[in-house]
Structure 1
Amino acid sequence: MRADEGFPRTLVDSLGRSVEIRHKPQRIVAIFASNVEMLAAIGAGDAIVGVEAWTRYPADIAARAKVGGRLGFSVEAIARLRADLVIMTPARQAATLVDPLQRIGIPALVLNHRDLVAVQANIRLLGQATGHESGAEQLIEHMQARLAAVQARLAGQPPVAVYLETGSNDRGSYLTLRGHNYTSDILRLAGGRNLFADSRLSQVGGESVYHANPTRIIVAGSPQQAASLGSRPGWQSIAAVAEGRVDSLPRALLLIPGPRVVEGVEQLAALLHPELFPKPLSEITP
């Protein structure tokens, strides 16, 4: 089979743009951790030649050349890498790369990971863009099977009321989930109910958490960050804090919309419903 069989091909990205990919990409620049992780998981990781400065996983890909970071991204750096495909998400000014890349003939595919349905659709799109359709379909099937195993365990269980903290500052404001997104999908599929889903603001204060009276508090971060909630002024009056119903999960499992979201669902479900998960799902055939 020729390496370029099936190319050129034209795909539609999350911005509704028709993107022509002339040959199977051999030198991919992937901006943002989610896109890197999806490409690696479908078997396209070896083609990645450039990433952003904050990419940490997988470890071997994190060592690739850098094309930017918190302050923006460099078209010149991408061109120097002789990239033949750029994958990005419209955040932190990355979308400003689209027009200059188009002018110099480098196709750019923009992905928007709104929710877990979109994450799986984007995995499929990346498979088509890179010639790794089989790897993409296998990954999606594996993710769906693991999610189904969690749902089978949770069948008939009422959801647990959760305050999920995604960030904080030293001014007494804390970030949480609102609306519908991939992290709220993780919480829902893990058997949780987001107490601030209908809030107009993603910032909350301790008083708001007190009145919401969560059954469980989950911090996207380290165990040390979770333990520190008890030292916040007034937070010992929140029953979940006073009674030790506070846990943490790594940020990468809750806040990066890639293949590891499934691990986030599994681990969060085990925290919220420990009686249903006496052993890891990997040890029990669903």
Structure 2
Amino acid sequence: MADAYPQRIVCLTEEPTEVLYALGEERRIVGISGFTVRPARARREKPRVSAFTSAKIGQILALAPDLAIGFSDIQADIARELIAAGVEVWISNHRSVDGILAYIRRLGAMVGAHERSEAYARCAEAHLAAVRAAAAKLPRRPKVYFEEWDEPPITGIRWVAELVRIAGGDDVFPELAREPLAKRRILADPGEVVRRAPDLILGSWCGKRFRPEKVAARPGWAAIPAVRDGELHEIKSPLILQPGPAALFDGLDALHAVIAAWAVRRGAGEEE
């Protein structure tokens, strides 16, 4: 009996590639995003046919895909072109930790790997629970400002804020984390960060290196506890800004490592 599931999948972002490799279904992938870094072997094995806001439509069509998978309204134009050319397209739009877990399960079902995707999702859930339990033992919870872009300053998206909380911190802009669009998370007044006085500043500037010295030099920011104490840290964007497994495993671990180290330092300081 012929395989009834998609045989030639183009992944327009990293997370479907990461999930399909984790499920042992990488043979179905015929093209990937140029921003893909996980798993590393995908860049060696699969042709890169898209960025995030643009794609090589001709090259994608030449691959004869029976499914293209992307993420968010930002890829609407790519999806429109592929649909017009007769390609079936799935654009996910999940923005939360629960959404990432559901995405893993849904994608697994779409390729006939329901049991493996369920096991993988449960593994992720167990990891979330383990980090949450470890965070509950920390002596203090820091206030955290997470910045995903610098010019203009853009605060963290919902799954990032949720992972910060699971890791043991509290996002200082919870009301903005609920906004799905980056343009709705732009800080009109960067001075609001000063007023909210975060203990930690975490930077993950998509596509470029975080520059803590530039952040510390912003007008008035010397008064922020995080700046005063030198608590500005980078979380690599491939670990945290993709709404896929990386965020639930390595991204969460990176957040917890920074937060736990802060809690130890602050606890030691109080004892002195």
Letter in 1 for 2:221: W
Say if 2:190 is the partner of 1:203. Answer: no
CA distance in 1, matches of 2:82, 2:223: 54
Query: Deviation of residue 156 (structure 1)?
Result: 6.2
Shift of 1:227: 4.0
Unpaired runs of at least 5, structure 2: 266-272
CA contact (8 A) 2:13 2:52 kept: no
Give the C-alpha shift of residue 270 in structure 1: 2.2
**Aligned partners of 1:148 and 1:210: how far apart in 2?**
32
**Corresponding residue SS for 1:164:** strand
What is the Cα deviation at residue 127 of structure 1? 0.8
- Rounded Cα–Cα distance in structure 1 between residues aligned with 2:197 and 2:264: 25
Q: What is residue 41 of structure 1 aligned with on the other side?
A: 22
Taking a change above 3 Å as real, the CA distance of residues 274 and 44 of structure 1, as seen in their structure-2 partners, is same
Alpha carbons of structure 1 residues 161 and 277: separation in structure 2 relative to 1, 3 Å: closer
3-state SS, counterpart of residue 114 of structure 1: coil
Unaligned runs of 5+ in 1: 5-22, 279-286
Greater share of helix: 2
| Structure 1 residues 275 and 69: alpha-carbon distance in aligned structure 2, compared to 1, 3 A threshold | closer
Mapped to 2, the partners of 1:42 and 1:93 lie a distance apart of: 25
Go from structure 1 to structure 2 and tell me whether the alpha carbon gap of 1:72 and 1:99 turns closer, same or farther (over 3 Å shift).
closer
1:188 is matched with 165
CA contact (8 A) 1:88 1:95 kept: no
Give the 3-state SS of the residue equivalent to 1:72 in structure 2: coil
Residue among 247, 262, 270 paired with 2:257:
270
- Residue 212 of structure 1 deviates from its aligned partner by 0.9
Which residue number in structure 2 is paired with residue 226 of structure 1? 212
**Superposition map of 1:118-197 within 5 A:** 118-155=99-136, 159-169=141-151, 173-177=152-156, 181-197=158-174
Report the equivalent of 2:62: 80
SS of 1:273's equivalent in the other structure is helix
What is the rounded CA distance, in whole Å, between the counterparts of 2:12 and 2:48 in structure 1? 9
Distance (Å, rounded) in 2 between the aligned partners of 1:149 and 1:137: 18
> Which deviates more from structure 2 when the two are superposed, residues 232-241 or residues 251-260?
232-241
TM-score (norm 1): 0.77
Q: Which moved more, 1:113-122 or 1:74-83?
A: 74-83
Structure 2 CA distance for aligned equivalents of residues 270 and 277 of structure 1: 11
Q: 1:254 is matched with which residue? A: 240
Displacement after TM superposition at 1:226 (Å):
2.6
- The structure whose residues are more often strand, as a share, is 1
Q: How much does 1:146 deviate?
A: 0.9
Corresponding residue to 1:239 among 225, 230, 239: 225
Taking only aligned residues, the RMSD between alpha carbons, in angstroms, comes to 2.8
- The Cα of 1:103 is off from its aligned counterpart by 6.1
Q: For residues 43-122 of structure 1, what are the structure 2 equivalents within 5 Å?
A: 43-63=24-44, 64-94=46-76, 97=79, 100-101=82-83, 104=86, 106-122=87-103
For 2:130, the aligned partner's letter is A
2:268 aligned residue: none
C-alpha distance 111-71 of structure 1, shift in aligned 2 (>3 A): closer
Amino acid at match of 2:27: D
Distance 1:52 1:188 in 2: 30
Q: Which residue of 2 aligns with 1:283?
A: none
SS in 1 for 2:245: coil
SS for the counterpart of 2:164 is: helix
The CA deviation string for residues 165-199 of structure 1, in whole angstroms up to 9 with x for no partner, is: 11112xxx311136xx2112111211221111224
Aligned residues: 253
